[in-house]
Structure 1
Amino acid sequence: MATALTLSNKQKQHLKSLAHSLKPVVLLGGNGLTEGVMAEIELALEHHELIKIKVPEEEREVREQIYTTIVAHTQAYRVQVVGKILTLYKPSQAKKISLPKA
């Protein structure tokens, strides 16, 4: 597995600004974090590089565990969490998003 991505503050800010207008592409349902949901997240990351995931879980600790599991599984970079929405970034082979120099 690849090591987790590290981004500078400038790069994080750039990703946050890009993510601002995005709608969540993956929504966790009543079944929580299933293999199907993980596959969907992987696909969305490969296709978009920068995605939002809505986790409607009420318990903050449980939500945090879900975020951690997603990040560990996808090896994506956790850009930010706002409310129940997790924003992830993972460069694809196509390199669609160009980050500013660190």
Structure 2
Amino acid sequence: MPLSNDEKKTYRTIGHQLNPIVTVASNGLTEAVLEELNRALDDHELVKIKVSVGDRDVKKAVIDEVIVQTKAILVQQIGNTALLLRRNPKAKANLSNLQRF
């Protein structure tokens, strides 16, 4: 389900203060990187990743593959940084980057 503009704005505001938690570099999207990313999405729900793999087309392909593999939603991409969201209703409130109401 796509995000509304208001939801995207809210998530971008939260994501602005986050640091990249996972970096995809020259080795590409390995199993270890996917495991760490899945763990981070389970715990934090909203994470920022850095993709340093080359030109725009390769970067776009890697981000698309990350989205498919993790079943996350791309909130925003700026340069080498992407903000991903995967809601977890069982996330621990002290670890999640999303505010619980």
Superposition TM-score, scaled by structure 2 size = 0.87
1:51 is aligned, of 26, 47, 54, to 47
Amino acid at match of 1:64: K
Gaps of 5+ in 1: none
Distance, in Å, in 1 between the alignment partners of 2:62 and 2:15 is: 20
Give structure 1 regions of 4+ aligned residues with deviation exceeding 3 angstroms: none
Match of 1:8 among 4, 9, 21: 4
Distance 2:74 2:12 in 1: 11
Q: CA deviation at 1:82?
A: 0.8
The gaps in structure 2 that reach 5 residues or longer are none
Higher relative contact order, chain-length normalized (CA < 8 Å, sep 6+):
1
CA RMSD of aligned residues (A): 1.8
Deviation at 1:98, TM superposition (A): 4.9
Which is richer in strand? 2
**Partner residue of 1:90 out of 77, 86, 91:** 86
| 1:32-76 deviation digits (Å, cap 9, x = unpaired) | 110110111100000100001101122110000000000011111
Q: State the percentage of identical aligned residues.
A: 34
How far did residue 6 of structure 1 move? 1.7
Instruction: Write the letter of the residue equivalent to 1:44.
Output: A
Give CA-to-partner distance per residue, 1:15-45, whole Å, 9 cap, x none: 0000000000001133111011011110000
Task: Tell me which amino acid in the other structure corresponds to 1:7.
Answer: L
| Equivalences for residues 29-40 of structure 1 within 5 A | 29-40=25-36
Paired with 1:58 and 1:23, the residues of 2 have a C-alpha distance of 21
Q: Structure 2 vs 1, CA of residues 8 and 98 (structure 1 numbering), >3 Å: closer, same or farther? A: farther
Within the candidate set 64, 70, 77, 1:74 is matched to 70
